[in-house]
Structure 1
Amino acid sequence: MSSEAQQSEEVYEAFLEHVRKYNYVGDASGVLSWDQQVMMPEGGTPARSKQSSTLSTVHHELLTDDKLSEWLDELDGTVDDEQQAVVREVRRSHERANAIPEDLVKRLSEASSNALPVWEEAKAKSDFSLFEETLEELVELRREYAAAIDPDRDPYEVLFEDYEPYIDIDTAEAILTELREELPALIDAIAESDVEPADPFEGEYDAETQESLVTEALDTLGYDWDRGRLDTAPHPFSTGTQFDARVTTRFAPDDPMGAIGSTIHEFGHASYTLGLSDDDYGTPLGDSRDMTVHESQSRLWENHVGRSKPFWRLFASEVEEQFGITASPQAFYEHANEVYDDNMIRVEADELTYHMHIVVRFEIERDLIRGDLDVSEVPQVWNDKVEEYLGVRPDNDAEGCLQDIHWTHGNFGYFPTYSLGSVLASQLFGAAERELGDLDDDIESGNFDRLYGWLNENVHEHGCRYTTTDLIEEATGEAFTAEYFLDYANKKYGNLYNL
């Protein structure tokens, strides 16, 4: 090895150690956030907000360290392709973080921690006015954040790039527009159909029984309990690392199918996290590739597996045993895929109307950040858009604009990735079946090794080696497209509703 090559290797190792350090701090913040949403006593917020803001400040200091700039400049163009991918990702994070004043980082973190109990109270009382001032503060802070990164660009576009840096906002808007224009005709045809999907559930089911059932679902899918756990939270989520990927769910007495769906959804997130490279933990090569890809994994498992006929031929007997009911796999399949034209809750929405919920949120948060909508107008505009896109009108703020937790975290720009992820899930599943053949028999027999292996080889193990668009082309051989999702939706629901 030449002296120049050896020096470059030494610089890279020092650089990588620094990168690992700030990622470890970020992961510690994630554990505190999980605890606040799952286990922390109600009175813990004042201390937790200080703890979280301190870790955010430390993370920010490490990410903006001048030494990191020097390393990035030294390494650029002098390392191999894999290392260059690390340099690319770190440079992007470093430059964005460097643009954000430390005081703003602290204010954002404290505002988010303090917002959670305010939102919870407002939602419990179904009173947006209790949350209005808090939301206004979060919107202003995020506008300030976007302006610090680039004052000359659309602030919403800047925020969207925090969750999806490699799919441009025009592409995202084009796909959302395509869904908004194409899906209503299918949804309307279903509403006019004479088919009445079966509902095998009657009465109410206690949380303990539902927890036992969703635990069995996780066992069936192959969740690694040595590196995960199941808990409940007001808003289901998954978080963690390849060594500790936790899932949460929630239980409604009259909706056990909702618990099954949300648990499988979060399993999909966790399966991606657990599939990341152990050896590359703490670096971009051991980190997930942004939210569109992450959401594609959860929606693939929730919809293409958990809502499929073969899955219910596999799992129906388990539901019957746990709940003491008798129903055919077809009945469970129909219920899992029933399209509701009167559902106003996003996380309880069916696979089709779900995207209308996303469009509502996308349009509102975009206009809030751009300054085209006042915070005080949110409940009215929300209700008007829900009525326009879904044909129903929320009765109160809890089932309207207070139902989601995302704005509480200051996560403006996140919502589009839900629909983008669903679209990508169909494209990935189609590519997997082209290579592996039809997967129905595998799913029905509970053998998920081939599917998981394909996803691991083509998505998980790459971490952030590729940009999102490059990863999609590497995995599927095609550019990102909504074609597969729309074909899948029309075929599946056309058959189910005799259209």
Structure 2
Amino acid sequence: MTDQPANQPPESADDNYDRLLEQWKRLAYLKDIEEVLSWDAFTAVPDGGASARSKQQGALSTVIHRQRADSALGDLLEAVDSATLTDQQRANVREIRREYEREAAVPPALSQQLSETITEATDAWQQAKADNEFDYFEDYLDRIIELKREEAAAIDPDADPYGVLFAEYAPYTDVETVERIFDRLQRELVPLVEDIRQSDTELTTDAFAGTFDIDAQAAACRDILDEFGYDWDRGHVDIVPNGITLGNQFDCRIGLQMNEDDFHLMPSVAVHEFGHALYKQQLPQEHYGTPLGSIQGYFVHESQSTLWECHVGRSEEFWEYIRPTVVEHLPAIEGSARDLYESFVHVRPDEPNLLRADELTWQLHILVRCKIERALVAGDIQAADVPEVWRDTYEEYLGFRPESDAEGPLLTIHWANGWVGYFPTYTLGHVLATQLAAAAREDIDGFDEKLRRGEFGPLREWLRAEIHQHGQRYTTPELIRRVTGEELTADYYLEYVTEKFTDLYDL
């Protein structure tokens, strides 16, 4: 086969398919422009320009939605002759159809109402969080949940509304399977955390105590990204309020969150966001703008960031390798590699803030959110009930009652932004990351020794070959089976955390 230009996949024997793909690519390019506007809003827009930028983004979002839901796109989908297509081309059609049908099912008036409500809710959420007053946000949360129920009913009136919303972020993964996995995690993680709480083992927890210059942390981050293999010719790093990765295989930017009084944020965010960026940078360039050149849903996307964060960045081997780099930029850190490792991974069962939580209890923080979100969509609770239900569930899962709503249900922007159904992807990402890491260890000789020596290339290449190069060619269950030989299972995750923290705390 002859080589194709960077953004030109092979043509089909079906002209309708080629027209469909060209139209879809134009929409993908507009969505990438939308991400550039978002990046600029995070990094450069002056305070006085925020209102105008919000209107610009809203206008562009409306244009994209209308074109993605246009009946002309549906007509092209119906006209395509699948019998003339290759397997890869059929995958493009499958994914375009899936997204088109979701978009087209939602009435424009509902979409507009939801967009306007989210804009208002975001302002209310910011004020509620700043003042630690959940009351300010209650009515907006009720409105968003009601509108999301209407959206789910428009997409599939016969399905579980929460499952329909969840499918936006984890296509082809049924919510019943997720709930079985989550129930098992809750049953097994809660007693493990309690055993750790009762442990007499003393770990080093203060190796990162102190104040650390942001510029020095940023320099250390850039060196870590260098070591991992981040492609600076197709990337950029900046400091932003919350860690984020935006972009595509030609331009993928990392936003790093840092705090001079909390060094834990730097390495965890840097390694996590690198995993997101690597996925995008290793997508096939020749399929840019098509499903074959796009990530396979946020569930798989979260597994890629988590694999690097937890199975590389939270390993003792990594800290043995990276300690000299950290100390070079932050000489006040004097502990051994083991001290740094223990300070980074030790369990903090009484931490109320998800963003400061350790690797183990972080899952329970997410499960609290999933349970409450599920109850809101089902109508079992209302927004006014959330703070009390939040405290009750934290007491059940983590053994304490958090006081602050600003560090609890108001901590993250998900509900204000209408991202109802996203939270499960975080825990699913951890579960899948561990299953993938087990498969990588089978295929890569001396996996842990390579981490100790800073040889990250074999893992990068394994992920490219097994996952990244396929884009959306396979559905999520198909991809998992191809890479691991099994269905999605919590077995590997539970074995991993049980072994890791049993050893660490001499349980």
Q: TM-score, normalised by structure 1?
A: 0.95
Over residues 305-334 of structure 1, what are the superposed CA-to-partner deviations in whole Å (9 max), with x where a residue is unaligned?
001111101111122222223211111111
SS where residue 406 of structure 1 aligns?
coil
The aligned residue for residue 158 of structure 2 is 152
For 1:210-268, what per-residue CA distance to the aligned partner results, in whole angstroms no more than 9, with x for missing partners?
Answer: 22222222222121222222223333221211112122222223320222101211111
- Alpha-carbon distance between aligned partners in 2 of 1:118 and 1:247, rounded to the nearest angstrom: 28
Q: Could you tell me whether the CA contact under 8 Å between 1:123 and 1:398 is conserved in 2?
A: yes
Verify: 1:82 aligned to 2:88, yes or no.
yes
Distance, in Å, in 2 between the alignment partners of 1:7 and 1:257 is: 50
CA distance in 2, matches of 1:458, 1:239: 22
1:32 paired residue among 31, 37, 56: 37
Q: Please, what TM-score do these two structures have when normalized by structure 2?
A: 0.94
Contact 1:86 1:465 in 2 (8 A): yes
Amino acid at match of 1:377: D
Q: Distance in 2 between matches of 1:348 and 1:117?
A: 24
Name the structure 2 match of 1:311.
318
What does residue range 338-487 of structure 1 map to in structure 2 within 5 Å?
338-487=346-495
1:59 to 58, 64, 67: 64
Shift of 1:11: 1.9
Q: Deviations over 1:30-82 (max 9, x none)?
A: 22233333433333343233222222222122212222222222325321111
The answer on whether the counterparts of 1:238 and 1:247 sit within 8 Å (CA) in structure 2 is yes
Residue identity in the other structure for 1:128: F
Matched, 1:187 2:193: yes
Query: What residue ranges of structure 1 are gaps of 5+ in the alignment?
Result: 1-5
**Which residue of structure 2 lines up, in the alignment, with residue 240 of structure 1?**
247
Q: Contact 1:277/1:461 (CA < 8 Å) preserved in 2?
A: yes
CA contact (8 A) 1:54 1:106 kept: no
Give secondary structure in 1 for the equivalent of 2:170.
Answer: coil
Instruction: Compute the RMSD of aligned alpha carbons.
Output: 1.7
Q: Which AA in structure 2 matches 1:126?
A: N
- Which whole-Å deviations, capped at 9, do the CAs of 1:130-149 have from their partners, x for residues lacking one? 22233233222212211211
**Is the CA contact (8 Å cut-off) linking 1:49 and 1:110 kept in structure 2?**
no
Mapped to 1, the partners of 2:12 and 2:95 lie a distance apart of: 22
**Equivalent position to 1:321, from 304, 317, 328:** 328
Match of 2:111 among 105, 111, 121: 105
Between the aligned partners of 1:9 and 1:83, the Cα distance in structure 2 is: 11
User: For structure 2, which runs of at least 5 residues remain unmatched after alignment?
Assistant: 1-10
Offset from partner CA, 1:267-289 (integer Å, 9 cap, x none): 11111111111111110000000
Listed as ranges, the matches of 1:322-337 within 5 Å are 322-324=329-331, 325-337=333-345
Distance of 1:276 and 1:115 partners within structure 2: 35
Instruction: Report the counterpart of residue 19 of structure 1 in structure 2.
Output: 24
> Could you tell me which amino acid in structure 1 is paired with residue 276 of structure 2?
H
* CA shift for structure 1 position 187: 1.3
> Which SS does the other structure have where 2:238 is aligned?
strand
Cα distance in structure 1, aligned partners of 2:374 and 2:44: 33
User: Is 1:132 the counterpart of 2:138 in the alignment?
Assistant: yes
Q: How many residues align?
A: 494
Question: What is the CA distance between 1:7 and its match in structure 2?
Answer: 8.2
User: Is the contact made by 1:56 and 1:106 (CA closer than 8 Å) also made in structure 2?
Assistant: no
Counterpart Cα distance in 1 of 2:115 and 2:263: 35
Q: Which moved more, 1:73-82 or 1:331-340?
A: 73-82
- Residue 316 of structure 1 aligns with an amino acid whose one-letter code is R
Aligned pairs for 1:119-268 within 5 A: 119-198=125-204, 199-268=206-275
For residue 294 of structure 1, report the CA deviation from its aligned partner. Answer: 0.5
Overall identity of the aligned pairs, in % = 45
